[in-house]
Amino acid sequence: MLNKVLIANRGEIAVRIIRACHDLGVRTVAVFSDVDRGALHVRYADHAYPLGGAAAVDSYLRVDRILQIALQAGADAIHPGYGFLAERSDFAQAVLDAGMVWIGPPPAALGLTGNKTSARSRMQAAGVPVIPGTDEPLTDQELLKAAGRLGFPLLVKAAAGGGGKGMRVVDSLEGMPGALASARREAQSAFGDDSLYLEKRIERARHIEFQLLADQHGNIVHLGERECSLQRRHQKLLEESPSPFMDDELRAQMGGIAIQAARVLGYVSAGTVEFLVDQERRFFFLEMNPRLQVEHPVTEWVTGIDIVKEQLRIARGRKLPIAQDDVQFNGWAIECRINAEDPFDGFVPSIGRVSALTLPTGPGVRVDSGLYEGLEITPYYDSLISKLICWGETRGQAILRMRRALEEYRIMGIKTTIPFHQRILDSHRFMGGQFDTTFVDERLSLHSPEMDPGGAQVAAVLATLIAHRQQRRRIEEPGSNRWRWSRPGGGWPQ
């Protein structure tokens, strides 16, 4: 039995895990940095201990301090959430060595998934289709030779990477040296490892991932797919389940391959296998995320399965309560990631105090958030502050509910990406399910109005918005934070 779980994280995901623990009668321990002393996860946990510091390296990445607190508090398990230490095999092993339960995959599986080239090699050996590329970290000279063999366009990627860090798109041999240099610098800064490899760039691809649950007894099921193609600079913005691109035959094929990939890695707990799918509907293994995903709520809503509770049960040694044939899909769910960023100013991070807050409610609306009035948004952590999830019996109903919910959502005192999501929801291409991973960067960039038909009108509206930005900031008050892109006669051209 798990009696007390320490959550080695912060923000909305820490709140989410605390709630799941309390639903199961498990007590919780929160940890917090100096700037998170008043955070919601600190208020909701049964016990809370200070980590000190402000920056992540001085707080939420302090393995020694977190383990010390866990033992002091009498915790018998640690849940890492996502980000920070969630994918660190050395942290998972340290938790086990301290006599506690690690709520996640085994350290060996974390080690395999953490290195992208090792994972690629394993998948190829098991017959899982992978994107053409190199299968081990190479020197710059070796990468230049491999690039000529593979052909362009290519992706330069960090072997220890994720989240778009250390990734560069290269269209010619001439562009390789600069891309390699900048990718190595970013990879070293983000992961402490500047190893790089190459992948062939799949043009106009869909990014589709499959949610898995695997217990300690060899049982693995998939919970269907999530559509994650709406991205900005390789960062996901909006996810939905199921995918409008998918059919039953392709779902069965990809789901089966996802389960096969998990078996190859000896996987246990919740995890996600990510694929790229080309225009001919051929799919390729991209990576496996050995943790809870930001977008897990859309899967929970369409399957009725609480993924966090299942993680806790699996960690207890329980068998999965369902087989693959028992997994049923009901309706459609969409998630918008609400970031503290200014979409009118290049998506720069926005910091400050939340002066007023109104959360959307009503049928089919869920908000995962650590926000409250008076909360100080600091520059030390990721800009994700809330997730808005809407469910409907059909995709159309889910879209309409999301539009309503975005309209109701009021976060004052900081800038957020709410208006950008409103623009996505208004797009005819989105409503028709006709998009890929390039859609946002090419067609919805505020700084590239020429990408849309009627670009002159768009440019005129943008010029007006820029001219009045300071005025808006001065007059902003509760009830007036919904900034809409509009033009005479209707919405934006699509």
What CATH number is given to the structural domain containing 82?
3.40.50.20
Label the pairing between strands 376-377 and 410-412: unpaired
The pTM assigned to this predicted structure is: 0.86
Please give the pLDDT value at position 193: 87
Tokens of 14: 């820490």
| 3-state secondary structure at position 244 | coil
What whole-number distance in Å separates Cα of residue 450 and Cα of residue 442?
A: 10
Is the domain of 88 the same as that of 191?
no
Residue 464 lies in a domain: no
Is the domain of 324 the same as that of 422?
yes
Interior angle at CA 180, CA 177 and CA 182, nearest 5: 110
| 3-state secondary structure at position 56 | helix
Where does residue 262 rank: exposed (0-12), middle (13-18), buried (19+ CB within 10 A)?
buried
DSSP string of 104-137, one letter each residue: SS-HHHHHHHHSHHHHHHHHHHTT--B-SB-SS-
Residue 210 lies in a domain: yes
What CATH number is given to the structural domain containing 148?
3.30.1490.20
Residue type, 58: D
Residue 29 lies in a domain: yes
Where does residue 167 rank: exposed (0-12), middle (13-18), buried (19+ CB within 10 A)?
buried
Residue 292 lies in a domain: yes
Please give the pLDDT value at position 445: 58
What whole-number distance in Å separates Cα of residue 13 and Cα of residue 384?
A: 10
Residue 191 lies in a domain: yes
Output the tens digit of pLDDT for each of the chain's 494 residues. 899 999 999 999 999 999 999 999 999 999 999 999 999 999 999 999 999 999 999 999 999 999 999 999 999 999 999 999 999 999 999 999 999 999 999 999 999 998 888 888 889 888 899 999 998 889 999 999 999 999 999 999 998 866 678 899 999 999 999 999 999 999 888 778 899 999 999 989 999 999 999 999 999 999 999 999 999 988 999 999 999 999 999 999 999 999 999 999 999 999 999 999 999 999 999 999 999 999 999 999 999 999 999 999 999 999 999 999 999 999 999 999 999 999 999 999 999 999 999 999 999 999 999 999 999 999 999 999 999 999 999 999 999 999 999 999 999 999 999 999 999 999 999 999 999 999 998 887 544 443 333 443 443 344 434 444 444 444 444 443 333 333 333 333 33
- What are the angstrom distances between the C-alpha of 477 and each of 356, 410, 449? 8, 10, 29
Residues in CB range of 54: below 8 A, 6 or more apart: 33, 34, 35, 378, 380
| 3-state secondary structure at position 197 | strand
Is the domain of 196 the same as that of 211?
no
Residue 460 lies in a domain: no
Label the pairing between strands 235-241 and 220-232: antiparallel
Query: Among the three residues 439, 474, 489, which one is the final residue of a domain in this structure?
Result: 439
Is the domain of 95 the same as that of 172?
no
Is the domain of 310 the same as that of 259?
yes
What whole-number distance in Å separates Cα of residue 251 and Cα of residue 256?
A: 8
Residues in CB range of 5: below 8 A, 6 or more apart: 17, 21, 26, 27, 28, 29, 75, 76, 77, 78, 79, 103, 312
Query: Among the three residues 439, 470, 485, which one is the final residue of a domain in this structure?
Result: 439
Is the domain of 214 the same as that of 195?
no
Is the domain of 358 the same as that of 303?
yes
Which positions are catalytic? Answer: 291
Is the domain of 149 the same as that of 219?
no
Residue pair 277/123 in contact by the 8 Å Cβ criterion: no
Residue pair 196/181 in contact by the 8 Å Cβ criterion: no
- Supply φ then ψ for residue 401, to 5 degrees: -65, -35
Is the domain of 235 the same as that of 367?
yes
Query: Among the three residues 394, 414, 439, which one is the final residue of a domain in this structure?
Result: 439
DSSP string of 268-324, one letter each residue: -EEEEEEEEE-TTS-EEEEEEE-S--TTHHHHHHHH---HHHHHHHHHTTPPPS--G
- For the chain, the domain total comes to 3
Residues in CB range of 16: below 8 A, 6 or more apart: 308, 368
Residue 285 lies in a domain: yes
Residues in CB range of 323: below 8 A, 6 or more apart: 219, 221
Residue 110 lies in a domain: no
Is the domain of 155 the same as that of 298?
no
Residues in CB range of 225: below 8 A, 6 or more apart: 208, 209, 210, 211, 241, 242, 243, 246, 251, 254, 255
Is the domain of 17 the same as that of 137?
no
What CATH number is given to the structural domain containing 336?
3.30.470.20
Is the domain of 94 the same as that of 156?
no
- What are the angstrom distances between the C-alpha of 368 and each of 13, 333, 365, 380, 436? 8, 14, 10, 20, 26
Residue pair 411/481 in contact by the 8 Å Cβ criterion: yes
Q: Which of 149, 308, 350, 327 is nearest to 251 (CA)?
A: 327
> Which range of residues forms the domain containing residue 211?
206-439
Tokens of 212: 């898995």
